[in-house]
Structure 1
Amino acid sequence: MGSTETANLIYLVLLGVFIGGGMLMAFRGQLGAMLRQASAWALIFAALIVGYGLFTDNRTHLPRTAVFQSEGRVEIPRSRDGHYHVVLDINGAPIEFIVDTGATDVVLSREDALRAGIDPDNLMFSGMARTANGTVQTAPVRLRQVELGSLKDENIRAVVNGGEMRRSLLGMSYLNTFDRIEINDGRLVLERG
């Protein structure tokens, strides 16, 4: 659990203690009335959560990729955060990437490198990269196998980031394997001839 999740949990516990204490003070000596009120509010809260889940499209938070295998064409819809997310199999492990045309190479986080069978502790972090968060060390690697739907590539140049990274980046060392890259109508289109 990260620091944000811990802070949210502490906030919710304190809020619950505050509300519970207020109810105990308001209904002193009326335990039955307090339980009825608490039950009614719990049902209202549960109904709101269920309603939100039914009437919102929670799938937009997940990476969605439409792969047209017969045409060698991949369409990636823009996510709500404004980025293009895609899942590729790297050495047999599914890894979520953010497409980054400004990145020279495919950049793996340490966690994603481990999932792909690359042990960051055995790498030489001899490179440097300038990021929005400052300069980080990088270790060059070659990805044995990269799969996007039916499209399979081998020996793709990549680096493992020595710093903190939320998501791995799908950079130009992979994107250059396509003949055409186009952004149109909220979709990133990748095509091979």
Structure 2
Amino acid sequence: MNKETRDQRRLGRIMWLLVWGLGMALLTWFFQQKLAQDYNPNQQLQQLDARTIVLEQNRQGHYLAGGSINGEPVVFLLDTGATQVAIPQAVAARLGLEVGQELRLSTAAGAVSGYRTRLKTLSLGPFTLYDLNAVIMPADSDEILLGMNALRQFELIQRDGQMTLRR
């Protein structure tokens, strides 16, 4: 086998490795997108009119949606069992929220210590709420529980895996 043939075979192997690597990268990207869509099917909010949005339930039966607090992007988990908007400590630090008075919170996992805070703005799709009470609590999640002090400002209708919010 001459040098030219060996060089061509070597180049051929390198090309196959690159094709396989690119294929694996594309498959990884595709499945990451699929997992993100399954986790939060409301990355693009469906707006029916100026006063109404519709959220799709995720595979776990929860309603998640992107929004913002004080202009910073966040992910909300709609929680009708939460009295107030509840923000994990790490997210509150990222948002630069002021830590107020300490208080005891009753959660599904038991009693924990949290802190009062105020939100200048909370936005979900076309809706913006102003000057809301919230609590900062210890949590491993990045999701903000959108509690009843925010949700009571909407009419909520849940049907067939969708939740309609009308203001």
TM (normalized to structure 1)?
A: 0.65
Aligned to 2:4: none
Q: Tell me which amino acid in the other structure corresponds to 1:80.
A: R
Q: CA deviation at 1:170?
A: 0.8
Aligned to 1:109: 88
The reply to whether residue 159 of structure 1 matches residue 135 of structure 2 is yes
Aligned to 1:15: none
Q: Which has the higher contact order (CA 8 A, sep 6+)?
A: 2
C-alpha distance in 2, partners of 1:125/1:55?
42
Aligned to 1:86: 65
Superposed, which structure 2 residues align to 1:137-176 within 5 Å?
137-161=113-137, 163-166=138-141, 167-176=143-152
The reply to whether residue 130 of structure 1 matches residue 107 of structure 2 is yes
Aligned to 1:185: 160
Q: Tell me which amino acid in the other structure corresponds to 2:129.
A: D
1:127 and 1:140 in contact (8 A); partners too? no
Aligned residues: 155
Identity %: 25
C-alpha distance in 2, partners of 1:170/1:145?
13
The C-alpha deviation readout for 1:106-139, integer Å capped at 9, x for no partner, is 101112222333144xx3222322332x321121
Q: CA deviation at 1:56?
A: 8.2
C-alpha distance in 2, partners of 1:90/1:186?
26
Superposed, which structure 2 residues align to 1:3-14 within 5 Å?
none
The verdict on how the C-alpha distance between 1:81 and 1:48 changes in structure 2, with shifts beyond 3 A counting, is farther
The C-alpha deviation readout for 1:20-66, integer Å capped at 9, x for no partner, is xxxxxxxxxxxxxxxx9999678546534524645885251444222
Q: Tell me which amino acid in the other structure corresponds to 1:181.
A: L
Aligned to 1:73: 52
2:157 and 2:163 in contact (8 A); partners too? yes
Say which structure is richer in helix: 1
1:110 and 1:160 in contact (8 A); partners too? yes
C-alpha distance in 2, partners of 1:54/1:128?
40
Could you list the runs of 5+ residues in structure 1 that have no partner in the other structure? 1-35
Aligned to 2:77: 98
